[in-house]
Amino acid sequence: MADETVNKIGTMLEELSKRFELVIEAISGFGGKFDGLRQEIVGQFAEVGAQIRFLTDQIAENRRGIQATRSELGAEMVRLGEAIGRTRVEFREEVASARAEVRGEIARVATLGDGRIAGEEFRRELAETAKALKKEIAASGDGAARRLVAELKQTGKSLANLNRKFDRFDDRVTIETKDQDQRLKKLERRARG
């Protein structure tokens, strides 16, 4: 009976050994799947990390571009303000000079050597002085207007250049955003599939 019991125990141990091997084989299969899944997850994390680095680099580059454009625009606005201020001061000085000239001319013509007012001659010289003053003011105004137009043209060119830079910047950001969206969609498809 002891042999029979030993045989039964031996048979049971052989069965358990076979079943244990099947369990180990099944677990090994899962282990391979787990390893593959782990590698895929690590790969996806690495891809997401690379994309985040790419995005932060792009954001930093875009910030530098915006900062440079702002400083260019600020410098152009300061230059335009200075030019307009200079033109305004010159125009005021020219008008003040013309007024002083007219007053001086009126005073000179109004009084003759003996202190009398010379009627007809005064009117004639006053009309000539007024004509001369109008011409001088017109010339001064035209000069100031030409300078202002030149400054406005220069500013227009600068603003057009800045506008082109903004357009290129916007195009670059749009393209990079679309590329990034495509990468993310690809990763999502891989994760699902």
Query: Domain span at residue 19?
Result: 1-55
In a domain, residue 6? The reply is yes
Q: How many residues does the chain have?
A: 193
In a domain, residue 129? The reply is no
How much is the pLDDT for 54? 85
Q: How far apart are CA 76 and CA 80, in angstroms?
A: 6
**Cα distances (Å, whole numbers) of residue 34 to 27, 29, 38, 189:** 10, 9, 6, 20
- Banded pLDDT at 6 (limits 50, 70, 90): low
Please check whether residue 190 is in contact with residue 97, taking contact to mean a CB–CB distance below 8 angstroms: no
Per-residue pLDDT of 86-139, as tens digits, reads 888 888 888 888 788 877 777 776 665 555 555 677 677 778 877 887 888 777
How many domains does the chain fold into?
1
Per-residue pLDDT of 32-55, as tens digits, reads 677 777 787 777 888 878 888 888
In a domain, residue 13? The reply is yes
